[in-house]
């Protein structure tokens, strides 16, 4: 006998953590995320014009570098907001999980944008080391200080709403890197104003860009892992397998696959050999118990369990009843 047990957490269902606590529904969480992205987008777009004007007026590469990050932020926040909107679209016959991975693509695009901008700034800064420009430190400090307020406010807003979403993490990295850039730009402005050290401006720009590149590495690594259907980084597959095998109703487990539907929605499929002779009704009950355990202990709302009375490679199993891995 072979029985299938399959579940998907509803789009508006409760979220579950490894400790089994219930949090806000998925819809509520994503609504807050969209609101946070919209507020950050409006604030940064409004300040972008002032920062570009200030960089040109005060001849500061550090300020223009921060404005370049701000421009990429505005574009990146728009991408993140669009990705969040796509995630809310219902599933169709052609997209059975909906468009939930749009947020992973959005996060990856944001990471690549930050890498491109950072490399451009480093190249420009190297050129200015040989021929430093005359930077107006006072104006730089004023504009960068205003930018710092916008960046810190936006970063805090996104950090509080990000949850486990890589899309929100990418947007937060944009804001956090710009906040670091604003601090560095203020330092450069003080150095120019007090010591007339024009070379501090491009040096600070390079340091900020290197920090951004380092931050982007983790984001690009994690988004690529999701797109390649790798095991979620916060879930140990050996622990999941052991947790299933330790259940009284389970004799063995094999063909275990873990991946992410979206960055904050882990999924699992597995073949589970049940202990003893069981009826279809008993098999369904044991399957439900296993799914509840996976939700409570690991937060896995999407699980597909193939319940078997014999391992699928058992020579005693009727060939007509053998199952095939369909993860």
The pLDDT of residue 20: 46
CB atoms within 10 A of CB 304: 18
Using CA of residue 232, residue 233, residue 234, residue 236, what is the dihedral sign? positive
Question: In this predicted model, what pLDDT tens digit does every residue of 177-236 receive, in sequence order?
Answer: 878 877 887 888 888 888 888 788 788 888 888 888 887 888 899 999 999 999 998 899
Output the pTM of the full model.
0.72
Given a contact cutoff of 8 angstroms between Cβ atoms, the answer to whether 175 and 158 are in contact is yes
Given a contact cutoff of 8 angstroms between Cβ atoms, the answer to whether 298 and 287 are in contact is no
Domains of the chain listed by start with CATH number: 24-227 (1.20.1510.10), 232-321 (3.30.70.1350)
The pLDDT of residue 317: 42
């Amino acid at each position: 006998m072979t029985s299938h047990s399959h579940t998907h957490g509803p789009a508006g269902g409760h979220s579950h953590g490894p400790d089994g606590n219930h949090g806000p529904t998925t819809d509520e969480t994503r609504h807050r995320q969209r609101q946070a992205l919209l507020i950050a987008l409006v604030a940064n777009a409004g300040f972008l014009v002032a920062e570009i004007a200030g960089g040109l007026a005060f001849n500061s590469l550090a300020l223009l570098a921060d404005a370049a990050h701000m421009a990429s932020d505005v574009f990146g926040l728009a991408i993140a907001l669009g990705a969040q909107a796509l995630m809310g679209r219902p599933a169709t016959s052609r997209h059975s999980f909906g468009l939930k991975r749009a947020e992973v693509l959005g996060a990856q695009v944001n990471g690549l944008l930050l890498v491109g901008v950072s490399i451009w700034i480093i190249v420009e800064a190297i050129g200015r080391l040989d021929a430093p420009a005359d930077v107006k430190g006072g104006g730089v400090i004023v504009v960068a200080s205003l930018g710092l307020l916008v960046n810190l406010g936006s970063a805090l807003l996104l950090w509080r709403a990000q949850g486990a979403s890589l899309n929100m993490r990418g947007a937060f990295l944009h804001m956090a890197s710009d906040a670091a850039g604003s601090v560095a730009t203020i330092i450069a402005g003080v150095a120019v104003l007090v010591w007339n050290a024009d070379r501090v401006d491009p040096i600070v720009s390079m340091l900020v860009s290197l920090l951004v590149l380092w931050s982007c590495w983790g984001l690009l690594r994690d988004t690529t892992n999701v797109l390649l259907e790798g095991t979620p980084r916060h879930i140990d597959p050996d622990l999941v397998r052991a947790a299933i095998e330790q259940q009284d109703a389970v004799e063995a487990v094999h063909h275990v696959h873990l991946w992410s539907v979206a960055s904050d929605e882990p999924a699992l499929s597995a073949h589970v050999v049940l202990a003893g002779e069981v009826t279809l009704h008993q098999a369904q009950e044991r399957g439900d118990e296993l799914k509840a355990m996976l939700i409570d202990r690991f937060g896995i709302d999407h699980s597909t369990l193939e319940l078997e009375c014999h391992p699928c490679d058992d020579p005693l199993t009727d060939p007509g009843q053998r199952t095939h891995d369909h993860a």
